[in-house]
Amino acid sequence: MTEFDPVHNYLLNKPEVTHAFPFGEEIYVYKVKNKMFATLAIGKAGRGDGDKRDWWLNLKCDPEEAVMLRDIFESVIPGYHMNQKHWNTVILDGSIPQGEIERMIDNSYMLVVDKMTKKDQASILVHF
């Protein structure tokens, strides 16, 4: 199993999540109620060799936590092709425990849900 499978499945199992390919077939975009909270793509910019390139996961993040995560994990960098204040890229190279990746996904998801209308929030939060 690649690093892609558990992350992709975790993202899709969040309530009311869909995915699409608006930026091309190699970039998975995950949305809750049509609001993006994650992307997943094969990494660029020199990380990984040849066929062994790592998957890169972009996640929305609180700005202060974003900086702390970058300090703690070498595989967390400012959001690649994103607003680097509010997004981190998590390089799925096996160096970050799956539970921590899931926590970061949960936070990204909830940051987006928290900005929704009360009606949309209620339809999502009923699943928790």
pLDDT at 48 over 70: no
Decide: 55 and 29 in contact? Cβ < 8 Å. Answer: no
Report d(CA 103, CA 99) in Å as an integer: 6
**DSSP states of 38-76:** EEEEE--TT-SBTTBPPEEEEEE--HHHHHHHHHH-TTE
Complete edge-to-edge strand list for the sheet that includes strand 35-42? 17-20, 27-32, 35-42, 55-60, 87-92, 76-78
> What is the third-level CATH fold of 4-117?
Aspartate Aminotransferase, domain 1 (3.90.1150)
Please determine, for residue 119, whether its predicted confidence score (pLDDT) is greater than 80: yes
User: Model confidence over 60-89: pLDDT tens digits?
Assistant: 999 999 999 999 999 999 998 898 999 999
What are the backbone angles phi and psi of residue 75, rounded to the nearest 5°? -90, 10
pTM of the entire predicted model: 0.91
Annotated domain spans of the chain:
4-117
